[in-house]
Structure 1
Amino acid sequence: MKKFLKIFFGTILVLIVLLVGVGAMFFYKVKNGFPVSYETEKPVLSIPANKSAILVFSKTTGFRHAESIDASIPAIKKMEEKNNWYVYATEQGGVFNAEQLKQFKVVVFNNSTGRVLSDEQQKALQEYVENGGSLLGIHGAGDNSHHAWDWYTNEFLGAVFSHHSINPHLQKTEVKLETDIDTLLGKNLAKSWNNTDEWYVFLSQPKGAKVLYYIDGDKIIPNGNMLWIKDKNFGMGKYHPVAWYRQMGKGKAFYTSMGHSKDVWTNPDYLKMIENSINWTIKK
């Protein structure tokens, strides 16, 4: 009997240790990503001369919003013909070089999480934006897995990610349009609409940016506590930005924290916001 109990409790202990290890690895991956490799081979590009080229980059080494990414590509491609775009969708980082980036009007970080580019590729993207290119980020492109890239966090996002709602996770609330916004960006956008999403909480308002859409943070439950994390039961207050934009050097930047699930890609108000934001970043 003693031998049995010893084996039993030993097995339980091993399982607990394994679960803790898996949990710790998961949180590390969410925050830092696990970069396996940085692709360096330049792709062959065949961009039509009369179209505005859009680079949609969906590589992930952190948490992967697989359903949203899968739904986003055909949704963005549906906008292609209407707007005279050429959409190049990839998860290969080799295109992030000065020679090829300059062929694109805008780069979209499409729920791209974790460390996805090498130091040299990050520098190429930074110089591309500062010299007149544009960068657009969707949802996971703003989480804390990008925390080690100072330029991206401070200059592009302008805010540091803290957590997202967990209990409850996805919540429905009203998204409201700001009044003082860029005319092209705001063209035909809904003044308000309902969206169900995983609401990101940042530690401050986005510095140096203009807000396009916001929610009433007092009407959601921003609780991000789970397991041993007990200090994430706060939000951004009544004025909670969920889409903002800025000038970056000679280029432009747009970010929306909305876009967790595949369902947003069938929401006409969300689609119109993405379409407008791409056209706004294209126009110089």
Structure 2
Amino acid sequence: MNITRRATLVALLLVVSSLFAGAAGKPKKLLVVTVTSGFRHSSIATAEKVLSKLATESGAFTVDFVRQPPNEPQPPQKPAPPKNPGAADEQALKAAEAAFPGLTKEYEAKHAVWVKQQAEALKKLSAESLKAYDGVVFANTTGDLPLPDNQAFVDWIRSGKAFIGTHSASDTFHGFHPYVEALGAEFLTHGAQATVECLNQDPKHPACAHLEKSWKIHDEIYIMKSFERPRVHGLLSLNKHPNENTPGDYPIAWCREVGKGRIFYTSLGHREDVWENPVYQKHLLGGIRWALKQAKGRIHHAP
């Protein structure tokens, strides 16, 4: 083999090894949480399938799940007067109004039992149970989840673990400041779903290396609050409002280091077809592997 061919082969091997760095070793263990205490996205089932697929195909990690308990009780609807009331309608309304307090009490009792089931499922996020995992994914979680210990969870991330959040992970734990601070922002509002052009802020980062200078995608786009650009390493952003097209800085995806741990967040992932999009899957996989310290990516941000 001549020197030129040998040098070419060595270069090729270096590229391949960098692409699969981390995957060749022992797979990391990810705990995927799809529990919700607020709005529940229909795309969660798709998210679970995609994350399982990425784990199997990459070989970089395995996935375990904390899923929503079945048969969540639904609150009774408050009786409303009919638009064109007659005598029979008035009688029916009175009967419904009389029954409403009892139905509400019954719902509250059933819901309390269900919340206990939710808390039982989330015991996998106790300080002791988390010792078995290298990272946690909040896949479209919402609301104040009944974790065993919120602060212990954030401390676990800071100890050197990985946290990955998709879409409404930023609509979770609004009242728990250490979580919002660690994530880097929280959901404020959104308009109608829109086709946007995401700007690639770091083409060298594993979550963005497969993208061109911009990436066009249709999804529900979040507007954030509690966001400070210097405190995150930007990955994707918009330079105009997704619905009003007015100039501005609208973050879409970012990453940051907290203590010895790593956080990757992408606000994309409302729609099923976004999760099924191979481009999105590469974006997500790159972010996961970076957070797990399986892929290199230099980042810069203020503490």
Identity level (%): 30
Corresponding residue for residue 240 of structure 2? 217
Corresponding residue for residue 89 of structure 1? 65
Corresponding residue for residue 171 of structure 1? 194
When residues 219 and 88 of structure 1 are mapped into structure 2, their CA distance, relative to the original with a 3 A threshold, is: closer
Q: Which amino acid aligns with 2:185?
A: A
Corresponding residue for residue 32 of structure 2? 56
1:52 and 1:216 map into 2 onto residues whose CA distance is 36
2:26 and 2:187 map into 1 onto residues whose CA distance is 39
1:238 pairs with one of 248, 251, 270: 248
Corresponding residue for residue 11 of structure 2? none
Q: Deviation digits for residues 15-74 of structure 1, max 9, x if unmatched?
A: xxxxxxxxxxxxxxxxxxxxxxxxxxxxxxxxxx93211111000010111x21111111
Corresponding residue for residue 46 of structure 2? 71
Deviation at 1:132, TM superposition (A): 0.5
Matched positions, count: 215
Deviation at 1:246, TM superposition (A): 0.2
Rg larger in structure: 2
Does the 8 A contact of 1:242 with 1:256 survive in 2? yes
Whether 1:113 aligns to 2:88 is no
How high is the TM-score relative to the length of structure 1?
0.70
1:248 and 1:149 map into 2 onto residues whose CA distance is 16
Corresponding residue for residue 128 of structure 1? 156
1:131 and 1:276 map into 2 onto residues whose CA distance is 22
Deviation at 1:206, TM superposition (A): 4.5
Whether 1:99 aligns to 2:128 is yes
1:272 and 1:64 map into 2 onto residues whose CA distance is 24
> Unpaired segments of 5 or more residues in structure 2?
1-24, 68-120, 295-303
Corresponding residue for residue 11 of structure 1? none
Deviation at 1:186, TM superposition (A): 3.5
SS in structure 2 opposite 1:240? strand
Does the 8 A contact of 2:31 with 2:135 survive in 1? yes
SS in structure 2 opposite 1:146? coil
SS in structure 1 opposite 2:281? helix
Q: Which amino acid aligns with 1:276?
A: G
Does the 8 A contact of 1:159 with 1:207 survive in 2? no
Q: Which amino acid aligns with 1:195?
A: I
Corresponding residue for residue 258 of structure 1? 268
Does the 8 A contact of 1:129 with 1:251 survive in 2? yes
Does the 8 A contact of 2:145 with 2:173 survive in 1? no
1:100 and 1:160 map into 2 onto residues whose CA distance is 27
Deviation at 1:142, TM superposition (A): 0.6
How high is the TM-score relative to the length of structure 2?
0.66
SS in structure 1 opposite 2:231? coil
Does the 8 A contact of 2:158 with 2:260 survive in 1? yes
Deviation at 1:221, TM superposition (A): 2.8
Corresponding residue for residue 147 of structure 1? 174
Does the 8 A contact of 2:207 with 2:285 survive in 1? no
Does the 8 A contact of 1:205 with 1:241 survive in 2? no
Corresponding residue for residue 3 of structure 1? none
Deviation at 1:190, TM superposition (A): 4.0
> Unpaired segments of 5 or more residues in structure 1?
1-48, 223-234
Does the 8 A contact of 2:207 with 2:282 survive in 1? no
Deviation at 1:219, TM superposition (A): 5.2
1:207 and 1:62 map into 2 onto residues whose CA distance is 30
2:223 and 2:242 map into 1 onto residues whose CA distance is 14
Deviation at 1:115, TM superposition (A): 1.0
1:247 pairs with one of 257, 264, 267: 257
Pairwise CA RMSD of aligned residues?
2.1
SS in structure 1 opposite 2:217? strand
1:206 and 1:258 map into 2 onto residues whose CA distance is 18
SS in structure 1 opposite 2:185? coil
1:59 and 1:147 map into 2 onto residues whose CA distance is 16
Q: Which amino acid aligns with 1:256?
A: T
